[in-house]
Amino acid sequence: MVNWNDKLAGRTTFMRRSAIREILKLTQRPDIISFAGGLPAPELFPVERIEAATQEIWRRRSSESLQYNTTEGLTELRDWIAARLSRGGVNITRDNILIVSGSQQAIDLVGRVLLDDGDHLVLESPTYVGMLTAWRSYQPRFSVIPTDADGLIVDEYLETVLRQKPKLAYLMPNFQNPQGTTLSYERRVELVKLLAEYDVAVMEDNPYGELRYSGDALPALYELEAQQRGSTKLDGLVVYAGTFSKILTPGLRVGWVAAPEEVIEKLVQAKQGADLQTSTLSQILTYEVCKDGFIDGHIEQLRAVYRERRDVMLAAMERYFPEEARWSRPEGGLFLMVTVPEHIDSGELLKDAIEHKVAFVPGTDFYITGGQNTFRLNYSNAQPDMIEEGIHRLGTLLKEVTVRQVV
Amino acid sequence: MVNWNDKLAGRTTFMRRSAIREILKLTQRPDIISFAGGLPAPELFPVERIEAATQEIWRRRSSESLQYNTTEGLTELRDWIAARLSRGGVNITRDNILIVSGSQQAIDLVGRVLLDDGDHLVLESPTYVGMLTAWRSYQPRFSVIPTDADGLIVDEYLETVLRQKPKLAYLMPNFQNPQGTTLSYERRVELVKLLAEYDVAVMEDNPYGELRYSGDALPALYELEAQQRGSTKLDGLVVYAGTFSKILTPGLRVGWVAAPEEVIEKLVQAKQGADLQTSTLSQILTYEVCKDGFIDGHIEQLRAVYRERRDVMLAAMERYFPEEARWSRPEGGLFLMVTVPEHIDSGELLKDAIEHKVAFVPGTDFYITGGQNTFRLNYSNAQPDMIEEGIHRLGTLLKEVTVRQVV
């Protein structure tokens, strides 16, 4: 037997399996109601449209769909995304767009292109665990900015941090994973002003932005930032990422980065080394399904279904959860986050929950430190009656453990 | 305008666009006969079988195909690959297999998991440019081992290098890109013995192995290595990579790594951070197309067509190339390499060639140093009459420049 331990790279010390993806495996037992995953509802996948698009592809462009394509990605898909991102007034072109294999790859490539070992990063807390998975291997120094119901708290503390000239800030302004909270308009304006003042780049990760169920849509950071600079181009401090995973299907693995051209150039070079290109078939299929306005009607349908599920979950939580529990009230996206009294460890709680045939994701993975008394719930991947039943089970358990500790 | 240069990570200095992929863009003019790419022949894609498989997928497993799956990859595809790789007597299981997004990702992930900055690597020269693209950012120290018609030269020099305990060796034993040469049986046995003696790991990259047109198939390094250790398991020094890109289609982006379980565990963690998983649809489609022996019949067909194209190219070279030119005579794969007199720079030659409406890839990208008087020709992606015509054009040019210099 060979000893591989002494052959592994140092960065593997900072790699670990995502607890969420591992928990997902455990909770696939059919008797468990799982709020653990981040899965879109498969019954809403537009299978008929996808099937029709596939037939059209085999008829019209089969060879092209199965052959290599450029690293940058399918031209017509890049044009389509660029046009969509330009609707707010910033003139984005295909040269600002790189197609990636899901937005996790956007995060990974941005890290490769921007992060040196030990760089200083600014994060909201809690934050997206997949970003931590990708970027921890650079052993960065994290400055953790607290959040409330309006997202990242933009105040003197943040300014103090930005004054230190960190390399990069990362945030999800819309329906953030894990909390589902949204950065308010006032804070966006103020944040963008501060980033410009201290010349700090930001990765604006927006996988859920189109899934809004209530309240008004807010401008993206890249839009506000261009506006403040008086620019009509994407040539500022924002690197923006989006994905088809939540509005179409995750299984095709198609996302994008929108960024200034010189950043895209480096991201293209990094992607050549990483995987040459994203699946040609996935890209053509995504384009053929989305075009001609289909995706907008489909998103409306998703919003209606997910809005109901969110409402059912929130109502059930009001009914069944003990008064000691608090939780976020998202205006969109797939998640909300629950905070329970500090003496309750949600990792331990999960074991009891699985006994009660209900599952969630413990919060610690979303925090650099702390979060033991928090957990994330997903409401997109269960029918309303299952949500009601699952929250009932979880509420019963929460009341037990809350009382148990008080006694 | 923001100055991004001072924000880029240091490793971006070592990134560059692949000259090959850039040349590919230039040579897509229809009047140019291009031997530059590494494209499989699109007219051989099994479109009917793929179309039938797709229809079956939409009928039987549409939701699954469009949903997230595990990072490790589709279980039945991992089982299928494991069974195929076990045919030589090593007992490989699904736990030895990670599905990746094409074998370029295999190289990238192996780098992440095994390479620290400045590590010492052993390469054959010339070697695969995509590996250099991926691994150069670790700023490794390269030990370059010369090759001849039997592949890597396994001699005292190699032993001297291995004695220094490099981190990793990388090679393509079969129909190597760019030369098309194959490591002989005797050298494989000797190489594996030396690697074991000095405890040096090797990445055996085998994208073309199934495309053999003449000569006898040789055992893989992982097979010889297990045999030498008296093991029946994949628990030695070899990390093996393969792909469906050359035997099925490259556009689906499906490849695999086969390695000892503890290496796979780390590769899975690295892949979670890189892109979560490979396209579910691509994996299911690949499995459904390949299963029940279809792929073996398909490979037979590819072999017949590519064999003829190789033979046509070699015969045309005999006819049209000046006697000063030398070239490899591959037993399989997609490429061969030409060496011209040292005073001819193949980068300059390419400009003349494009004037003559024929294209190739200059050799320098495949070398750490040198190779200016070499270039790579691909014979899989042109019909025989076009090969004949393209080699005629190139031979005419070569005779011109050879004479021009002699005069």
CB pairs under 8 A between A and B: 253
- Count other C-beta atoms under 10 Å from residue A230's C-beta: 6
How far is residue B267's CA from residue B239's CA, in Å, rounded to a whole number? Answer: 11
Q: Indicate whether A132 pLDDT > 60.
A: yes
Say how far residue A261 (Cα) sits from the centre of its chain: 24
* Residue labelled with tokens 């966006």: A188
Instruction: Grade residue B2 by pLDDT with cuts at 50, 70 and 90.
Output: confident
Residues listed for chain B: 407
pLDDT at A176: 98
More reliable by pLDDT, A308 or B354 = A308
Judging contacts by C-beta atoms under 8 Å, the chain A residues touching residue B168 are 7
Instruction: Read off the amino acid at residue B276.
Output: L
Label residue A63 by pLDDT band (50, 70, 90). Answer: very high
Average pLDDT over every residue of A221-241: 97
Q: Which amino acid is at A140?
A: P
* Residue A21 pLDDT class (50, 70, 90 cuts): low
- Write the CA distances from A207 to A29, A146, A245, B156, integer angstroms: 28, 21, 8, 56
Tens digit of each residue's pLDDT (9 = 90 or more) over B346-387: 999 998 999 999 999 999 999 999 999 999 999 999 999 999
Instruction: Say if strands A374-378 and A326-327 run parallel, antiparallel, or are unpaired.
Output: unpaired
- Spatial neighbors of B60 by CB under 8 A, at least 6 apart, are none
Residue to substitute from B1, B4, B25, interface A, most A β-carbons within 10 A: B4
Whether the CB of B1 is below 8 Å from some CB of chain A: the reply is: yes
> Would you call A251 and B67 a contact, using CB atoms and an 8 Å cutoff?
yes
What CA–CA distance (Å, rounded) separates B236 from A4?
9
The mean pLDDT of A37-60, rounded to a whole number, is: 95
Half-sphere exposure of A199 (CA within 13 A, CB side): 8
Q: What is the crossing angle of helices A280-290 and A47-60, to 10°? A: 120
pTM attached to this predicted model: 0.96
* DSSP-based helix, strand, coil % in chain B, nearest 5: 50, 15, 35
Rounded Cα distance, B240 and B260, in Å = 10
Whether residue A275 and residue B276 make contact (CB cut-off 8 A), yes or no, is: no
Of B66, B114, B272, the CB nearest to A133: B272
Q: Where are the alpha helices (DSSP H) in A277-293?
A: 280-290
Give me the sign of the Cα torsion angle B330, B334, B337, B338. Answer: positive
Q: Which residues on adjacent β-strands are paired with residue A326?
A: A339
- Tell me, yes or no, if A121 comes closer than 8 A to chain B by beta carbon: no
Does any CB of chain B come closer than 8 Å to the CB of residue A6?
A: no
First and final CA of chain A: distance in angstroms? 54
CA dist A332 and A209 (Å) reads 8
Q: Which residue has the tokens 């379980």?
A: B261
Q: Does A272 touch chain B (CB under 8 A)?
A: yes
**Residue written as tokens 């040579």?**
B27
**Greatest CA span in chain A, whole angstroms?**
70
pLDDT tens digits for range A69-116: 999 999 999 999 999 999 999 999 999 999 999 999 999 999 999 999
d(CA B251, CA B25): 17
Return the pLDDT at B16: 76
The two three-digit tokens of residue A295, written as one number: 């995706």
ipTM of the modeled complex: 0.95
**B56 CA: distance to closest CA in chain A (Å):** 11
- Answer whether B253 touches A (CB < 8 Å): yes
Instruction: Give the SS3 label for residue A14.
Output: helix
Q: Going by C-beta distance under 8 Å and a sequence separation of 6 or more, which residues neighbour residue B315? A: none
A199 interaction partners in chain B (CB closer than 8 Å): 2
Mean pLDDT of chain B: 95
- Residue B319: per-residue pLDDT: 98
Would you call B165 an interface residue with chain A, using a CB distance cutoff of 8 Å?
no
Least confident of A170-184, B16-30, B113-127: B16-30
Average pLDDT on A339-357 reads 93
**Which residues in chain B are closer than 8 Å to A280, comparing Cβ atoms?**
250-253
Q: Are B372 and B345 in contact (CB under 8 A)?
A: yes
DSSP symbol at A323: T
Cα angle vertex A280, ends A279, A282, to 5°?
Answer: 65
pLDDT-based confidence at residue A292 (cuts at 50, 70, 90): very high
Interface subset of A 310-349, CB within 8 angstroms of B: none
pLDDT at residue A16 above 90?
no
Structure tokens belonging to residue B273:
């951070």
pLDDT at B284: 98
Long-range CB pairs of B159-163 (<8 Å, 24+ gap) are: B159/B194, B159/B198, B161/B122, B162/B122, B162/B194, B162/B195, B162/B197, B162/B198, B162/B200, B163/B198
In this predicted structure, the answer to whether residue B407 has a pLDDT above a threshold of 60 is no
Please answer yes or no on whether A66 and B113 come within 8 Å at the CB atom. Answer: no
- Contact status of B149 with chain A (Cβ, < 8 Å): no
Residue B328 C-alpha, separation from nearest chain A C-alpha, in angstroms? 26
Q: What is the pLDDT at residue A20?
A: 64
A255: region left, alpha or beta (phi > 0 left; psi from -120 to 50 alpha)? beta
Separation in Å, CA of B218 to nearest CA in chain A: 24
Per-residue pLDDT, B122: 98
Cβ-defined contact of B282 to A279 (cutoff 8 Å) = yes
CB-based contact A114 B236, cutoff 8 Å: no
pLDDT at A24: 63
A15 touches chain B (CB under 8 A): yes
Task: Give the sign of the dihedral formed by CA B109, CA B115, CA B118, CA B122.
Answer: negative
* Alpha helices (runs of H) in A183-338, residue ranges in sequence order: 185-198, 221-229, 261-275, 280-290, 294-320
B116-120 long-range contacts (CB < 8 A, ≥24 apart) are: B116/A9, B116/A10, B116/A11, B116/B167, B119/A9, B119/B166, B119/B167, B119/B168, B120/B164, B120/B165, B120/B166, B120/B167
Q: What is the pLDDT of residue A27?
A: 67
B406 pLDDT higher than 70: no
pLDDT at position B30 is: 83
CA dihedral in degrees (B121, B124, B126, B131; nearest 10)? -50
Contacts with B137 from chain A: Cβ below 8 Å: 112, 273
Task: Give the HSE-up count for residue A336: Cα atoms under 13 Å, Cβ half-sphere.
Answer: 23
Whole-number pLDDT of residue B131: 97
| Contact flag A260-B130 (C-beta cutoff 8 Å) | no
B-chain residues within 8 Å CB-CB of A276? 21, 102, 104, 130, 253
Give yes or no for residue B290 having a pLDDT over 70: yes
CA distance A23 to A360: 9
For the segment B169-188, the average pLDDT, to the nearest whole number, is 98
Mark which residues 275-294 of A lie under 8 Å from B by CB: 275-282, 285
- Residue type at A251 in one-letter notation: G
CB-based contact, B228 to chain A, within 8 Å: no
Transcribe B130-143 into DSSP letters.
Answer: HHHHHHGGG-PEEE
**Rounded (10°) angle between helices A185-198 and A156-163:** 20
Residue B20, pLDDT above cutoff 70: no
| E strand or H helix that includes residue B402 | helix B384-406
Report yes or no: A260 at the B interface, CB cutoff 8 Å: yes
**Mutation target vs A (from B16, B17, B267, B275; most A CBs, 10 A cutoff):** B275
| Tokens encoding A382 | 């269960």
Reported as a single tens digit per residue, the pLDDT across B216-273 is 999 999 999 999 999 999 999 999 999 999 999 999 999 999 999 999 999 999 999 9
Q: Is the CB of A232 inside 8 Å of chain B's CB atoms?
A: no
Position A189, amino acid: V
**Does pLDDT of B334 surpass 90?**
yes
Nearest CA in chain A to B259: A4
User: Distance between CA atoms of A112 and A127, rounded to whole angstroms?
Assistant: 20
Element (H, E) at A89: none
Query: Are A112 and B2 inside 8 Å of each other by CB?
Result: no
